[in-house]
Amino acid sequence: MPMTISEQYLQAYDEQLRTEAETPSALSVTRLGPLRLATFAGGLGFITYRDLGGAEAKDMPGLVSGALAHYGTDPEIDKVEWKVRLHDASPGLPEALLAHGFSPDAPESIMVGPLEGLCANVPEPDGVTLRKVASESDVRAMSAMADEAFGESVDTRMADALLARLARNDGMELWVAEADGKIVSCGRLEPVHGTDFVGIWGGATLEAYRGRGIYRALTAARARSALTQGKKLVHSDSSEFSRPILERSGLLKVSTTVPYYWRR
């Protein structure tokens, strides 16, 4: 039986994105069996993999403890994310993560689809300006706004990490929407080199400005930029706020991911 379009997208996601392409901005990546242990600026450890190589439930505690031991040697690491995809064969993994002090965050939808759909019939909201930013002042203002939108205290380490990436010129783009003289929404565009994909990440909009089409317009601006680079497909891990917006633009939910976090 031929694969459905959703199955084709999921296959492309697994084959093209769950490799080194997933961590282009990592400071370092260490292999531990099937795991890829990445370290990012800002004190974040990130655990991912293409698959778990047929590991059984009895193997999971050893994988988790081994990964934590790796990060435990680095005092700069204060948070570790284990990226769990629910379509993987990973028996006993959630239980092993919980037993080692990880806590699950809200599930997110893995969305994949053609870039063109994100650009169609998207009006620019009145009084809103969309632009790509790169200056230190803009990046710090954008990062602080994102922290506010997520109800978190301002963490300057994220802005530091974004500025360091811009200095490396690795293809990442930062986009903002401005209204009433301030940044009210933001997001990143992450071209995945050597593939047909770009990633759309970091979407955040201040609560008072939600429901006005600002996030959708900002997404369309990023998609148009990606199309000029010859990209065809887009992927994103989406909250329940952004998922319906992406679905209306032709993206499909191909799976679910749950981030599990360990904090020092």
* Residue percentage of the chain with pLDDT more than 90: 74
The segment with the largest mean pLDDT, out of 21-25, 173-177, 196-200, is 173-177
Q: Which residues contact 2 (CB under 8 A, 6 or more apart)?
A: none
Is it the case that residue 5 has pLDDT exceeding 90?
A: yes
The pLDDT of residue 61? 97
Q: Which pLDDT score, from 0 to 100, does residue 191 have? A: 92
Give me the mean pLDDT over the 204-227 stretch.
Answer: 94
Question: What would the two tokens of residue 35 be?
Answer: 């795991």
Please state, rounded to an integer, the average pLDDT across all residues of the chain.
93
Dihedral angle over CA of 25, 114, 82, 156, nearest 10:
50
Secondary structure (DSSP) of the chain? -PPPHHHHHHHHHHHHHSSGGG-TT-SEEEEETTEEEEEETTTEEEEE-S--TT--GGGHHHHHHHHHHHHHT-TT--EEEEEEETTS--TTHHHHHHHTT-EE---EEEEEEETHHHHTT-PPPTT-EEEEE-SHHHHHHHHHHHHHHTT----HHHHHHHHHHHHHT-S-EEEEEEETTEEEEEEEEEE-TTSSEEEEEEEEE-GGGTTSSHHHHHHHHHHHHHHHTT--EEEEEE-TTTHHHHHHTT-EEEEEEEEEEEE-
Please give the pLDDT value at position 157. Answer: 85
Indicate whether 13 pLDDT > 90.
yes
Instruction: Note the pLDDT of residue 140.
Output: 97
Residue 37 has pLDDT above 90, yes or no: yes
* pLDDT tier, 212 (very low <50, low <70, confident <90, very high otherwise): very high
Higher pLDDT, 148 or 121: 148
**Phi, psi (deg, nearest 5) at residue 137:** -65, -40
Residue range 136-155: average pLDDT? 94
Read off the pLDDT of residues 92-143 as tens digits, 9 standing for 90 and up.
999 999 999 999 999 999 999 999 999 888 888 999 999 999 999 999 999 9
Query: Domains plus CATH for the chain?
Result: 5-109 (3.40.630), 116-231 (3.40.630.30)
CB 45 within 8 A of CB 80: yes
Higher pLDDT, 248 or 227: 227
Predicted confidence band of residue 260 (pLDDT cuts 50, 70, 90):
very high
| Confidence category of residue 84, pLDDT binned at 50, 70, 90 | very high
- The mean pLDDT value for 157-173 works out to 90
Q: Is residue 254's pLDDT more than 90?
A: yes
What pLDDT band is residue 187 in, cutting at 50, 70 and 90? Answer: very high
pLDDT surpasses 90 at 68? yes
